[in-house]
Amino acid sequence: MSAESTVLYDAPGPRARARNRLTAILFIAVLAAIAIYVISVLAANEQFTGEKWSPFVTWSTWTGYILPGLWRTLAAAAVSIVFSLILGAVLGIGRLSDHRWVRAVSGVFVEVFRAIPVLILMVFTWFLFAIYGIFPSSMLAFAAVVTGLTLYNGSVMAEILRSGINSLPKGQTEASMSLGLRKSQMMRIVLLPQAITAMMPALISQMVVALKDSALGYIIGYSEVVRSGLLSASRYGNYIPALIVVAIIMIVINFGLSNLATYVERRVRQGRRSAAEPADPEKTELAASENLL
């Protein structure tokens, strides 16, 4: 095995590299051809004219449609992400409980709500809240969107956190038990923080899913950014440009969320490495001698 080989596969040889390079070039060429075709069709249908895009250079379009819808999208996503993390932590720990009935209830909850589509959860909770008057009409759509997103994403995050806890070395549990920590203390202080750090990429992906799924609130009348963009398009007659603008906004937000979470993960890992570094014997001895003096 060559020096460039890894545990999973051997490094490709000259012929394999040439074949991979040719495949990549062909793939890029196909994507470019598709993009050129789509752009030409849109241009032929006058979707790039100044009349179609001029509303987006006026402040009234943003203050009247886009920004309020964006705020409602971020509000629903932020609240549901926080609740999903809390619910996921509770269910994930519940699935690892020593009590059989706790494991059973947590497992049924996770499997049921993870299998139901988010849209059905939103519609069901909207009708439930409307029939029993749980929320005022002004908060009805927002509450249904947040509840649907929380139930689904919380169930998925529970499995992510459970997998993260199970992937930790057994020595973590044994060391915690040797210190006299109870099971709840061990989970809260030792295992859960490490599981969150280890599974941060998967949690980030699920947060992005929650942000994108908030657009489903359009079906139950929640005026998020997609619905607001379509309302502006119905006034100006520029549906394609409006959807392109909304798509760009969502891409920027998701990219920013991913970068923020990656930055937090990196800082947490750096903090733990610096905390685990052994002390310098010379500095320790010098400090001890100074204290004696």
Three-state SS annotation for the chain: CCCCCCCCCCCCCHHHHHHHHHHHHHHHHHHHHHHHHHHHHHHHCCCCCHHHHHHHHCHHHHHHHHHHHHHHHHHHHHHHHHHHHHHHHHHHHHCCCCCHHHHHHHHHHHHHHHHCCHHHHHHHHHHHHHHHCCCCHHHHHHHHHHHHHHHHHHHHHHHHHHHHHHHCCHHHHHHHHHCCCCHHHHHHHHHHHHHHHHCHHHHHHHHHHHHHHHHHHHHHCCCCHHHHHHHHHHHHCCHHHHHHHHHHHHHHHHHHHHHHHHHHHHHHHHHHHHHHCCCCHHHHHHHHHHHHC
> Per-residue confidence of the chain (293 residues) as pLDDT tens digits?
444 444 555 677 788 888 889 999 999 999 999 999 999 998 888 888 888 899 998 999 999 999 999 999 999 999 999 999 999 999 998 998 888 999 999 999 999 999 999 999 999 999 999 999 999 988 999 999 999 999 999 999 999 999 888 888 887 777 877 887 787 788 878 888 888 888 888 888 898 899 989 989 989 989 899 999 999 999 888 899 999 999 999 899 888 887 887 787 777 777 666 655 554 555 545 544 554 45
What is the CATH topology of the domain spanning 59-269? Answer: MetI-like fold (1.10.3720)
pTM of the model: 0.79
